[in-house]
Amino acid sequence: MNLESYLAEQRGVVEAALERALIPSEGTPPRLLEAMRYAVFSGGKRVRPILAMAACAATPAPAARALPFGCAIELIHAYSLVHDDLPAMDDDDLRRGRPTVHKVYGEALAILAGDALLTEAFRVAAEGARAVGIDPVRAIEMIGSIARAAGAGGMVGGQVADLAAEGVAADASLVESIHRRKTGALIAAAVEAGATAGGVAGARRDALLAYGQSLGLAFQVADDILDATAPTAVTGKRVGGDAAHGKATYPSVVGLDGARHVARELLARCRAATDALGAAAEPLRALATFVVERAC
């Protein structure tokens, strides 16, 4: 398959859905909406909603059934970047080559825009569930699963552990534990949302979930490698920013070659899972390959 044209097409679908999710509404201060939109429409690759749709496409259901849940996850991802960049957290001025939200709108509005994006994510999931006609029991299951992935035992917990590990001697198991929560959980939730929206059970569901778990970790390992090696033009961030922050990363605990080895192992697991799913999982396979190979 041609991954590039597939991604461009799916990204168009996601952008249109996010546009519909972030329109002016009664009671929303225009400057708040502007800050939320600045955070969301910033050239992101939309990996999470595309994964949700690709996972759903590997079931008998149409891919679009997973779209509202993928968009909810993308809004959660966007809020997490806004809050991570705050002066009290990673204190970053630059994100995807542009000034961060608090640099443009001030700290107060950045905190509130993040809060609003996180809240609206659940509105989008709840309203979308009705719009795509999904079984409401499954929709509630998905909302719970997204909240667990994003919450205290998932993404937020990973960010707390990440901040606590700064400048501390970390080992590979601590780094894996941080990455699985901070990045992996939300990516795995996107794939799971696709599986749940598609209504598959048994071995096919298990294969999708295994893929999501491995890809979620692979994604962050690849990000670590790129942070340590790629120029700002590729990452939109300072080269070696993680090292400057004393961040716990795979290259810092197992070296660059070790990190590449881990990424390739995870890619092999993603491929094994997609092999079990057959031709309908081709986009999932191509996505995993792309994520890992650009860093290796």
The binding site for a copy of itself (CB under 8 A) comprises 25-29, 31-33, 36, 79-80, 83, 86, 88-89, 106-109, 111-112, 114-116, 118-120, 122-123, 125-127, 129-130, 136-137, 139-141, 143-144, 146-148, 150-154, 156-161, 163-164, 177, 181
Residue 284 tokens read as: 């999932």
Q: Kindly tell me which of 49 and 158 has the beta carbon lying closer to a copy of itself.
A: 158
- The least distance separating a copy of itself from the CB of residue 144, rounded to whole angstroms, comes to 3
Where helices occur in 185-280 by DSSP H, the ranges are 185-198, 202-229, 232-235, 241-244, 250-277
Q: Kindly tell me which of 137 and 244 has the beta carbon lying closer to a copy of itself.
A: 137
Using an 8 Å Cβ cutoff, are 39 and 113 in contact? yes
Comparing C-alpha atoms, which of 134, 137, 159, 162 is closest to residue 76? 159
Name every residue whose Cβ is closer than 8 Å to that of residue 8 and which is 6 or more positions away in sequence. none
Comparing C-alpha atoms, which of 199, 196, 162, 185 is closest to residue 84? 162
Residue 95 is given by DSSP the state: E
Comparing C-alpha atoms, which of 143, 136, 154, 131 is closest to residue 72? 143
- The least distance separating a copy of itself from the CB of residue 127, rounded to whole angstroms, comes to 5
Q: Kindly tell me which of 109 and 292 has the beta carbon lying closer to a copy of itself.
A: 109
Backbone angles phi, psi at 294, to 5 degrees: -70, -15
- The least distance separating a copy of itself from the CB of residue 188, rounded to whole angstroms, comes to 12
- The least distance separating a copy of itself from the CB of residue 72, rounded to whole angstroms, comes to 10
Q: Kindly tell me which of 158 and 251 has the beta carbon lying closer to a copy of itself.
A: 158
Between the alpha carbon of residue 286 and those of residues 9, 31, 44, 280, the distances in Å are 15, 39, 19, 11
What letters, b where the CB count within 10 A reaches 16 and e where it falls short, cover 129-168? beebebeeebbeebbebbbebbeeebbbbbbebbeebeee
Alpha carbon distance 155, 224 (integer Å): 17
Q: Kindly tell me which of 71 and 118 has the beta carbon lying closer to a copy of itself.
A: 118
Distance of CA 267 to the CA centre of its chain: 17
Q: Kindly tell me which of 33 and 256 has the beta carbon lying closer to a copy of itself.
A: 33
Q: Kindly tell me which of 154 and 216 has the beta carbon lying closer to a copy of itself.
A: 154
